[in-house]
Each structure stands twice: as structure tokens, then as C-alpha cells.
Structure 1
Amino acid sequence: MAAYFFASPVDVDIKLEGEEERKKFDLKLEKEKAVSCPIYYDGDNVAGQVTVRVRDGKKLAHEGVKVEFVGSIELFYDRGHHHEFLSLSQELAAPGEMRSAQTFDFLFKNVEKQYESYQGINVKLRYFIRVTLSRRIADVTKERELWVHSYRMPPDSNNSIKMEVGIEDCLHIEFEYNKSKYHLKDVIVGKIYFLLVRIKIKHMELSIIRRETTGAPPNQYNESETITKFEIMDGAPIRGETIPIRLFLGGFDLTPTFREVNKKFSVRYYLNLVLIDEENRRYFKQQEITIFRIPEN
């Protein structure tokens, strides 16, 4: 008897209008599975069809069918609570009985999608369609993920970055990057100048670090991950030497910079320059850069 209560009496299928023509994002799930999600933008309509099929051909009494478009933030340290910043709802069917398959159209028009989708270490920002068939015993729900990208206008000011690394009377290095704000397919161009070298440097590396901050004090969590690391010099430099840097961002799994999204999380990027001497001492300098998304051709 128990099996009857827990088996869903209906199959629910959600089809998104025009999804074949949309670009796709592969959303990673647990156990190395992935689901392909159509990409939407701020202001796009979210439309489609919901098909409900009754199993076994029996009639099914229900208390209404509704469809929702939801945007939510899930913090992994607070698993029981989903913070919904967007919730739109439409009724598809009034209470009644269902004997055969029924298809319902839905349309959420010009939806403001305030934030970009994000899947991180401690936080997930997701958008999804949720269909609920209400019943007295147990509701039947089905969800369908979609992915949202946001374009931001390129920043008006984009100054170059100039920094110094110095150890008194031992080492003096200047380095500069051509700008401080980059789009996701951009190239970081820079130069490193050795003005004073009195310690034996073994090699030098440059890395991009992503730092995810979730929550607020005292329940604040910081997670840093190295997106890429590459050696830009092997062997000892001499005074007056210049080393060029070219780093193509297009090959890495980057997101835009996010600051204080819904007061729940931030994602920032840093360029980290590390020098290692022959005694394996490390000298490093970190600089934040801003990453933004522009429309692709």
C-alpha cells in the first residue's frame, strides 16, 4: 500500500519555447553528471508548455495546477533555506479531475532577471521553472533548470595597473598590466621590470585566483581557488631586464566579477605574482581585477 502513496500518479514534462535555438550551458550535477540548460538574458520572455500525463489511465482528482518561475540563492552552510529573490506564478488549471494527458501553455513576459546564474563552492544562484499539481495526499512537483547570463556595459574608466614589489636593498620590481577590467575573452597584457636584483630568483609564476565570499560575519565563509597558474620566468633575471606577459582568458572557466549579490555572496578575481628564490622563499603581490561579460558575436 505504501508504494502507492509515494509513486507519482502523473508524469510532468516541461518544454521551453525555442530552447533548441538558444545557446546552452552545461550545469554540473553530482557524481560528474551534467544537464544542458538553455541560456536566457535579462528581459527575455520565458515561455513553454507543460504536459501532464495520468498514469494507468485512471482519473485523477487534483486541487489545481500552477507554474512558477523562480530565482533563488542556496547557501550550502544553510541548506534548509532557499532565498527566493524572484517568484512569478500562473495558474494552469483549476481544481478538478484529469483522465488523459493535458498540455498547458505558459508565458512569463519580459522577465527581469536581476542576477547572473552562478554555481560555486558554497553557493548556487539558480533560475528554474517549477510545476506543482496540488493533491490532498501529496503534491506532485517538477522543476526545469535554465541558465541566465547578464551583460554589463564595459566600464568607462579602465586604468592600467602599476605595482611594485620591493625588499629593501635586495629586490625592486615594477610590473604593469594594460588595464584593470577585462571581458571574459580578453587578453591580459603586461610587463615586469627588474630594477634591482640582489637575491637569486629561481622562477616566477602568475596565477588567477577566484575568491568566493558567502554570508555575513560571524557566519562568513571565504573560498579561494586557483583557476590557472603558469611560469613566466625560469632562472635568475638581471637588472634592467623586462619580461612580457600575455594571458588569454578565453580558455579558462571564468565568471564575471559579482559584488554583494542580494547581500548573500561575492565572487572576485585576483592576479597573483609569485617569485621564488633559491632558498624557496616566496614573495608575492596580489591585485584585484574586474571581469565582465559582453555580447558574443
Structure 2
Amino acid sequence: MSIFFKIPVEIEIRLDNEESRKHHEVKTPHGRLDRLPIYKDGESVKGVVTLRTKEGKKIDHLGVKVQLLGSIETNNDGLVSSEFLTLATELAAPGQLTHSQSYPFEFKNVEKQYESYRGKNAKLRYYLKVAIQRKSNTEITREKELWVFQYYTKLNEENKARENGLQSAPRLAKDVHSVKMDVGIEDCLHIEFEYSKSRFSLKDVIIGRIYFLLVRLKIKHMELSLIRREIVGSAPNQITDSETVVRFEIMDGAPVKGETIPIRLFLSGFDLTPTYKDVNKKFSVRTYLSLVLIDEDARRYFKQSEIFLYRDS
């Protein structure tokens, strides 16, 4: 018989306004979609815990508590979990549970310093954990995960980035100027990719142009990609995983000197995450623009440039 049927009490965790609150869909490693309620930094987390005993059962316990936890799990040299947030409140003193009982709880104005994240080798999660303490140091527990978004504005973005572990953005004065990325082979090829800025919100549009200044190679086609790079741990056990979020062809055929190709890439249509840098000294997540040229002999010439991504309200 499954141990599930041996547990004499059912634990339900319900959050205030859970049905009307916005949810975020996250794919599990097994391919299932989890719909998790979204919370913001500084927002209170409150709800009700209900304990239901099996019919005719009486449960002796040594206390009931609820915790709000924030943890980072990394898998670079074995699975390691560390907590950066631990809040707890007692729901019930030691006693006996003879019928269904409900207990309201509230964690006020909780500082949630990082955004939730699920990657290949790193996971940052916030969750509620209810524990019924029993004799012999055994517990009956139930968890409920939340999803936290961090929102940034142009005014507080740079300061928040430093405080919360995100990569610092370029200063506003610098962001007025365009950014240039060169791909070149001496006396054979010189291409300049110019785009409007290096800092983008997740709903933004990358606008730019590609200039062909020197073309003496037989270019077959050209691609532009967005690459997400997850870096977990530190040397010598550091693991880097790169994922191409989107790749599309921007040219098919041989260009000529002086030709210009306009670029317009809408970011809102892709599954992107904000930029993180050394979150709690555990992991980083960065995004790169990658320009790739392929010649008629299938040789590849490429250049990557990092862009800073943030979530706005």
C-alpha cells in the first residue's frame, strides 16, 4: 500500500485571492505544466491552512507550523540546496486533532530579493511548507510553491540590480548611443551589426542594421540567434549550459559591399528570463546576441555580444 494512504491527515494550503491572482506556467522536468501564483517583492503572503483528519481518526501532535522558504538548488557537483529566506509562524500548540481545523497565516511585506528561476542545473524557488510535528521527530508535511517576479523601472534598475544580484545595466547616459558588433577577417570580410541599445525589457524590440563594409568571401547565408547561458558554481567545478532560445535566418544569398539589412526582433514572443549575475554566489544567467555567417564551404564566422534583460511592470 502506498504511504500516501497511511497518512492520517490531509493538509490543504490556500492563498488569499489565489483564483484571481495572475499565474505563471512552468514546465517540469517531466514535461508537465505547473501553474504557480505570482508574487512581487515586498508583497505579503497570506492564506489559510486546513487540516482534515481521516474519518474517525484522532491525531496527537507536538505542534503545527507554517514556513515561507526561499531556496537555491544547484547541480554542478552533486545536488546542493541552500536557503536564503526562512520565515516561520506557529499555527497550533501541541495537542490532539480530532476534526477539521483551519488556521489563517500571514507573512507581512516579505522581501523577495531574487526572481524565481528553473534552469537545467539551477533552480530558485519560493514555497510554503506546513509541518505537523509528531513523536519520534517525525513530521507530516505539505508544500506549495509560489512564483516571484522582480520588476524594474528605468529609475531604480541600476541600484536594484546591484542589490539583487542582477548584472549592472549600462548607465542611462550611455544607453542613448547605439551598440556596434564587428565580424571581420582581415582583407576578406568586415561586417558591422549596429543595434539601438544593450539593455532591453522582456517586452522590448531589438532594432538594428547590419552593414557590409567589405565582402570578399562567398557568403551563403546569415543567422541571428538569442542564446541563454546558465553558469553554475565556480572553477574547477563550474558548469556552463548554453541554450539557443531563437534562431532565424536574416539573409540568404551573397551580399555585396555597401548593402544594409534591417533587423527587428520582438522579444515578447520568446521564453526569456532576466539577466542574473552571481545570484547568492550560486549561479548566473546571461543572454547573448549571436551573429553567424556561413560561407559556401560551410565555414562559420560568428560574434556574440551580451545584452542585459530586465522585467518591467
TM-score (norm 2): 0.91
> Which stretches of structure 1, 4 residues or more, deviate above 6 A after TM superposition?
2-6
Q: Aligned equivalents of 2:87 and 2:240: distance in 1?
A: 32
Please say which of residues 19-28 and 88-97 is displaced more in the overlay: 19-28
Report the alpha carbon displacement of residue 78 of structure 1 after superposing the two structures with TM: 5.3
Report the alpha carbon displacement of residue 35 of structure 1 after superposing the two structures with TM: 1.9
* Secondary structure of 2:256's aligned partner: coil
Report the alpha carbon displacement of residue 76 of structure 1 after superposing the two structures with TM: 2.4
Structure 2: tracts of 5 or more residues without a match: 158-170
Task: Say yes or no: does 1:243 pair with 2:242.
Answer: no
Q: Aligned equivalents of 1:268 and 1:4: distance in 2?
A: 42
Q: Aligned equivalents of 2:225 and 2:300: distance in 1?
A: 14
Q: Which residue of 2 aligns with 1:169?
A: 187
* Secondary structure of 1:21's aligned partner: coil
> Closer, same or farther in 2 for the Cα pair 1:140/1:78, shift >3 Å?
farther
Match of 1:253 among 248, 253, 271: 271
> Closer, same or farther in 2 for the Cα pair 1:4/1:171, shift >3 Å?
closer
Q: Which residue of 2 aligns with 1:231?
A: 249
Report the alpha carbon displacement of residue 29 of structure 1 after superposing the two structures with TM: 2.1
> Closer, same or farther in 2 for the Cα pair 1:3/1:259, shift >3 Å?
closer
Q: Which residue of 2 aligns with 1:9?
A: 8
> Closer, same or farther in 2 for the Cα pair 1:77/1:167, shift >3 Å?
closer
Match of 2:213 among 192, 195, 219: 195
> Closer, same or farther in 2 for the Cα pair 1:153/1:103, shift >3 Å?
same
Q: Aligned equivalents of 1:34 and 1:218: distance in 2?
A: 35
Q: Which residue of 2 aligns with 1:47?
A: 46
Q: Is the 8 A contact 2:76 2:239 kept in 1?
A: no
Q: Which residue of 1 aligns with 2:225?
A: 207
Task: Say yes or no: does 1:284 pair with 2:302.
Answer: yes
Please say which of residues 159-168 and 36-45 is displaced more in the overlay: 159-168
* Secondary structure of 1:113's aligned partner: coil
Please say which of residues 24-33 and 219-228 is displaced more in the overlay: 24-33
Q: Which residue of 1 aligns with 2:200?
A: 182
RMSD of aligned alpha carbons: 1.6
* Secondary structure of 1:32's aligned partner: coil
Q: Aligned equivalents of 1:117 and 1:5: distance in 2?
A: 29
Structure 1: tracts of 5 or more residues without a match: none
Report the alpha carbon displacement of residue 79 of structure 1 after superposing the two structures with TM: 5.3
> Closer, same or farther in 2 for the Cα pair 1:54/1:247, shift >3 Å?
same
Q: Aligned equivalents of 2:53 and 2:273: distance in 1?
A: 42
* Secondary structure of 1:219's aligned partner: coil
Q: Is the 8 A contact 2:76 2:233 kept in 1?
A: no
Q: Which residue of 1 aligns with 2:120?
A: 121
| Letter aligned with residue 36 of structure 2 | C
* Secondary structure of 2:272's aligned partner: coil
Deviations 1:182-219 (A, max 9, x none): 00011100101111111110000000000000111121
Q: Aligned equivalents of 2:79 and 2:252: distance in 1?
A: 50
Q: Aligned equivalents of 1:5 and 1:277: distance in 2?
A: 60
| Letter aligned with residue 267 of structure 1 | V
- Counting matched residue pairs gives 294
* Secondary structure of 1:20's aligned partner: coil
| Letter aligned with residue 50 of structure 1 | V
Report the alpha carbon displacement of residue 101 of structure 1 after superposing the two structures with TM: 0.3
* Secondary structure of 2:286's aligned partner: strand
Q: Aligned equivalents of 1:160 and 1:65: distance in 2?
A: 58
Q: Aligned equivalents of 1:23 and 1:200: distance in 2?
A: 51
Superposition pairs of residues 23-62 of structure 1, within 5 angstroms: 23-62=22-61
Task: Say yes or no: does 1:131 pair with 2:149.
Answer: no
Q: Aligned equivalents of 2:283 and 2:50: distance in 1?
A: 36
Q: Aligned equivalents of 2:255 and 2:80: distance in 1?
A: 54
Task: Say yes or no: does 1:145 pair with 2:145.
Answer: yes
Q: Structure 1 vs Structure 2: percent identity of aligned residues?
A: 59
Q: Which residue of 1 aligns with 2:108?
A: 109
Please say which of residues 178-187 and 165-174 is displaced more in the overlay: 165-174
* Secondary structure of 2:249's aligned partner: strand
